[in-house]
Amino acid sequence: MDIVIAAEKPSIAGLLSKHLQYPVKPQEIRVHANPDETGSFLINWRLNRYVMSPDGQLVLRCIRQA
């Protein structure tokens, strides 16, 4: 299991790079606490939004459009 301390962008960018198999720089992402789950983060990268759970799992979050 990968452990991320708080919302450290370098750690999260490393996990996102590993998940996407594409280099992601820390300055390219925006990280926010996820109000829906304690210890989870919302990650904005380019036009995509990912959710990282407390155990380090990353999932692409689909946003519904009206």
* 5-57: pLDDT as tens digits: 566 899 889 989 999 999 999 999 999 988 888 888 999 999 999 999 888 88
How many domains does the chain fold into?
A: 1
Q: What is the pLDDT of residue 23?
A: 97
Does residue 28 form part of some domain? yes
Q: What is the dihedral of CA 27, 35, 63, 45, to 10 degrees?
A: 10
Q: Does pTM top 0.85 for this prediction?
A: no
Beta-carbon contacts of 4 under 8 Å, excluding residues fewer than 6 positions away, are 11, 12, 15, 41, 52, 56
Does residue 65 form part of some domain? no
Phi-psi category of residue 16: left, alpha or beta, with phi > 0 → left and psi -120 to 50 → alpha? alpha
* pLDDT above 90: residue 2: no
Does residue 4 form part of some domain? no
Q: What is the pLDDT of residue 39?
A: 85
Range of the domain at 18: 9-60
Does residue 44 form part of some domain? yes
